[in-house]
Amino acid sequence: MARRVFFSFHYDNDVWRANTVRNSWVTQGKEAAGFIDKAEFEKIRRTGDRAVKNWIDEQLIGTSVTVVLIGSETLDRPFVQYEIEASRRRGNAIIGVTIGGIKNQYQNTSQSQSKYTQINGVWFDEIIDGFYDYVSENGYSNMGTWIESAARKKGNKSNSILKGCN
């Protein structure tokens, strides 16, 4: 059984790249659940920040690892910062995976932020349990290993399914 994982990413900039990562799990016979589509997210967002945070909190239930899919602005986004903080409070292992090298729908790549970025006064590299580049480190084949390694490093041995996020 696969470990239950929450994916955090900047929806507007990186949904195409995030879906590439998610779909790689599906093609390998792994279950990916909880990725929200734009219409559903916009509906939640219109009801206010608290509603979005409540949705995030619900999606984190039962997860043991949070994978932050890092594009050019990801770590600066308020909801991503909330997801990271909520994950820390839960005791989730956290890994950063740069996705700027994945081509978007227009066949363009982008820069990814560095792990040396501050989030609410804490350096991201000080709170993560791993940092990888999806393209150059073959995330298609290695994501499961990265997730399991981070979970074991954090001391979390429970298993279940994948979750997703915005």
CATH annotation of 5-154: 3.40.50
One digit per residue, the tens of pLDDT, for the chain of length 166 reads 567 888 899 988 998 999 899 877 666 655 443 466 677 878 888 999 999 999 999 989 988 999 999 999 999 999 999 999 999 999 999 999 999 999 999 999 999 999 999 988 999 999 999 999 999 999 999 998 998 999 999 886 554 444 444 4
CA distance 73 to 13: 8
∠9-83-140 over CA atoms, to 5°? 40
Interhelix angle 49-60/78-90, nearest 10 degrees: 40
For residue 28, the model assigns a pLDDT of 61
Domain ranges in the chain?
A: 5-154
Say how far apart CA 94 and CA 120 lie, in whole Å: 16
* DSSP summary character for residue 162: B
Amino acid at site 73: E
The owner of tokens 């967002």 is: 45
pTM of the model: 0.88
